């Protein structure tokens, strides 16, 4: 640490440049951490679904619906304990597409039976089930819009009658389970069905007696409907979640590609800063060598200086992102439930900051180490 002061004074000799470089590293790592967290959140989402629940959807795509008539046959299948269904409403609040969150019409009676893990106060649950225009809302969404129990709000559906406002009364507030979104909006499928002519179940969820029968049940269902107008695809809820995630495309590749591009862009910025800083101090490096500072020591000092800048930027970007996302409870409008900057992501971000420092300092450090003293002093003295 006896060289700490030397590093510090060099860092602060051009404060503006140092701060701007650290901020550019911070911005880049903020972006990296955000992108990486989207990735990890989506990957985690694959793990949320249950193995004993199966989802049957239209074989073509989730955007195509299935007939209500399927409910009866699915319920009668051996090994299937209970069936429920849901429909994607694509609701927006205040007519503003930015005020968007996940909204579903569900069969309320069966839904609570298939999802007993939903944490809702019993009185609120009963109130929600009793009233056709009632809604059950996650705690995060309630907080986001400052809604209160009993409040009537209007949503517009981007699928069903976009010009019509649908009034809902909030009768229940659920507390999310780990990995579940706290920004979802549930209402009665019956209400949806009543208000539109063509709403059908978007998917069925089947609660099995035994998860080991999943493959048999899936094969039976899909075989049964294979030649119908509405062929099905049945898979475990976990596989369904994976399928949903894959609808985002190859997010992992995209995120990694953007992250890599950001890394190289910022590497050039940091390297340029260090090159400029080192070039300005060429004569001082020569003097230090005259005093007996070794090549290795000077190499280390330049690297340490570069690493200090990028690590400071890293701390700001990585933990700034962590604090910001966790402080605001960001969940990507309900599409990224449980969104969080994991410590492993933060650690990776800091490792990248360190690598940025090492790589950006490499060339100027090498130049400082190999500086020909006599030649440099001749130019200075």
List interacting residues with another protein (CB under 8 A): 2-3, 5-6, 9-10, 12-13, 283-284, 287-297, 373-374, 377-378, 380-381
Pairwise CA distance, residues 23 & 27, whole Å: 6
Rounded Cα distance between 369 and 294, Å, is 8
Pick 125 or 289: Cβ nearer another protein: 289
Place of tokens 């604090």: 323
- State how far the Cα of 201 lies from the Cα of 232, in Å rounded to an integer: 12
Q: Considering the complex, what minimum distance in angstroms separates the CB of residue 291 from another protein?
A: 5
Cα 38 to Cα 342: distance, rounded to the nearest angstrom:
11
Q: Which is nearer to another protein, 272 or 294 (CB)?
A: 294
Nearest Cα residue to 348 out of 31, 36, 64: 36
> Locate tokens 């069925």: which residue?
204
Closest distance between another protein and the C-beta of residue 301, in Å?
A: 11
Task: Pick between residue 287 and residue 340 the one whose CB is nearest to another protein.
Answer: 287
Can you count the helices (H) and strands (E) in the chain? Answer: 14, 10
The Cα-based distances of 295 to 28, 139, 151, 153 in angstroms read: 32, 60, 72, 70
Residue 351 in 3-state DSSP? Answer: helix
Nearest Cα residue to 340 out of 323, 354, 353 = 323
| Min separation Cβ 309 and another protein, Å | 16
How far apart are CB 329 and another protein at their closest, in Å?
45
Shortest distance, CB of residue 300 to another protein, whole angstroms?
A: 13
What is the SS3 assignment for 337?
coil
How far apart, in whole angstroms, are the C-alpha atoms of residue 116 and residue 118? 5
Nearer to another protein, 5 or 148 (CB): 5
Whole-angstrom CA distances from 217 to 74, 230, 236, 334 are 10, 18, 10, 31
By beta-carbon proximity to another protein, the closer residue of 119 and 380 is 380
- Give 350's DSSP letter: H
CB of 294 to another protein, least distance (A): 4
Residue 96: CB minimum distance to another protein, A: 54
Minimum distance from residue 338 beta carbon to another protein (Å) = 48
Q: Which is nearer to another protein, 242 or 283 (CB)?
A: 283
For residue 158, the 8-state DSSP code is: S
* 291/343 with CB nearer another protein: 291
| Nearer residue to another protein within complex by CB, 11 or 42 | 11
Strand ranges, E, within the chain: 53-58, 80-88, 91-93, 103-106, 134-138, 152-157, 165-174, 185-188, 203-208, 232-236
């Amino acid at each position: 640490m006896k060289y700490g002061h030397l590093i510090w004074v060099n860092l602060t000799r051009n404060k503006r440049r140092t701060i701007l470089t650290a901020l550019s590293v911070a911005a880049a790592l903020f972006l990296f951490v955000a992108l990486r967290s989207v990735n990890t959140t989506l990957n985690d989402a694959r793990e949320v679904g249950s193995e004993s629940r199966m989802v049957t959807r239209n074989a073509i795509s989730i955007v195509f619906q299935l007939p209500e008539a399927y409910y009866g046959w699915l319920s009668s299948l051996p090994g299937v304990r209970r069936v429920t269904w849901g429909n994607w409403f694509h609701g927006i609040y205040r007519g503003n597409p930015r005020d968007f969150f996940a909204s579903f019409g569900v069969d309320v009676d069966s839904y609570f039976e298939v999802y007993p893990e939903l944490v809702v106060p019993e009185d609120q649950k009963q109130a929600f089930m009793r009233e056709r225009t009632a809604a059950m809302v996650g705690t995060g969404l309630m907080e986001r819009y400052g809604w209160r129990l009993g409040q009537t709000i209007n949503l517009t559906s981007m699928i069903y009658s976009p010009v019509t406002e649908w009034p809902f009364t909030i009768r229940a507030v659920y507390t999310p389970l780990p990995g579940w979104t706290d920004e979802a909006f549930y209402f009665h499928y019956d209400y949806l069905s009543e208000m539109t002519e063509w709403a059908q179940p978007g998917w069925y969820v089947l609660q099995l007696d035994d998860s080991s029968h999943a493959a048999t049940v899936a094969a039976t269902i899909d075989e049964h409907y294979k030649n119908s107008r509405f062929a099905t695809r049945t898979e475990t809820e976990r596989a369904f979640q994976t399928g949903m995630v894959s609808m985002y495309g190859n997010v992992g590749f995209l995120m990694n590609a953007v992250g890599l591009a950001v890394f190289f862009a910022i590497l050039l910025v940091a390297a340029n800063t260090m090159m400029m800083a080192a070039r300005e101090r060429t004569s001082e490096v020569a003097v230090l060598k005259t005093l007996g500072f070794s090549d290795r020591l000077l190499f280390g000092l330049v690297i340490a200086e570069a690493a200090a800048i990028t690590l400071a930027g890293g701390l700001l970007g990585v933990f700034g992102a962590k604090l910001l996302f966790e402080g605001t409870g960001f969940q990507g409008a309900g599409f990224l439930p449980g969104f969080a900057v994991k410590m492993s992501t933060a650690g990776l971000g800091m490792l990248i900051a360190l690598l940025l420092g090492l790589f950006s300092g490499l060339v100027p450090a090498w130049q400082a180490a190999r500086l020909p003293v006599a030649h440099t002093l001749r130019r200075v003295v």
